[in-house]
Chains A and B, each alone.
Chain A
Amino acid sequence: MIFFATLAILAGVLVSLSRQINGRLALSTSAMESSFWNHLVGLVFITCVALAVGGLFAGEPAQAPWWAYLGGPVGVVFIAAGSWLIARIGAAQTALMIIAGQMISGVVLDIVMGAPGNLWARALGVALILAGMWVAQGRKV
């Protein structure tokens, strides 16, 4: 359990590390070029690991709905935006606002798609996040 907990924490550290390295690349080049290298280098890396481990095309990927294949272009904008923002509002603020956006849009998506959930927990969670964003925004540089 402690082993998996360590892996989960490490995964979060790597999310931040990746954004910092991409942000540094964007400082030398541009946010979009940084996003391009992030995807290309990641692609080469995953291809190598998948070839070594096998099972890349396991299951029935051809059965997936067409819109499930749209994650790539969305990710390009996501990585470019993160690389651009981190040099402007810092790593912690970037991470915090992205988390806030993901959580609140997640609630909206859940409601739109009719996923079951506790109304009061959702309302309290969203209220706390909005309050936190309001506090963060009031900081003097």
Chain B
Amino acid sequence: MSQSELSNHPLHFAAAFGTGGLLSFMVLFNGTLAAYGSLFFASWVPHLTGSVAALLFLLFLRPKRAQVVRPPLWVYLGGVSGAVTVMLTSATLNSALALSGTIALGLAGQMVFSLFADMRGLFGLPQRMPVRRDFVALALIIAGSLILIFFGSST
């Protein structure tokens, strides 16, 4: 795909920012489940209720399929990657890294791989070469995040 398919519409940025806000609530809800039950349970329950909720959304909203042809089977495996993430972090949370180190290193891994994916246009997603402005934004946001993680006692 070409670069022209990407946008910098302010609404998209606002939506992504709001999506990050949802993540804080997920951490709060699922983290509370983990405080009472096992870490498996804290991941199993949201996947179960999420499957039902998504099915209801599909039945009521009936979103249009973008393409008639069936995509390759591997595109259905995103959920496995997400589930393995939970298992990895449950291991590192109990190591010397604790919560702060787990989040900080996770941010690093996430950003480096995202930039790599954009440069290559991995998995048939639009290709996008980062420019200097992107690295300035990256440095500011990651610096702010690290200050919050290590000195602001924020998760």
Contact = CB atoms under 8 A, between A and B. Distances in A.
> Main secondary structure on chain A at its contact with chain B?
helix
Given A57-B37, A139-B133, A36 B58 contact: yes
Contacts of B28: 109
Given A25-B76, A50-B44, A88 B134 contact: no
Interface size class of B (residues with CB under 8 A): 35 or more
A106 to B, nearest CB: 5
Interface residues of A, number: 121
A107 B149 CA distance: 10
Nearest to A64: B36
B41 A5 contact: no
A107 to B, nearest CB: 5
Among B18, B32, B123, B155: residue with most chain A CB under 10 A: B123
Contacts of B84: 14
Contact of A75 (B33, B35, B46): B46
Interface in A90-140: 90-107, 109-110, 115-118, 121-122, 124-133, 135-140
Contacts of B78: 17-22, 25, 34, 37-38, 41
Contact of A125 (B33, B92, B154): B154
Contact of B102 (A11, A69, A126): A11
A48 to B, nearest CB: 10
Contacts of A59: 36-38, 41
Interface of A: 1, 4-5, 7-43, 45-47, 49-50, 53, 55-65, 67-82, 85-107, 109-110, 115-118, 121-122, 124-133, 135-141
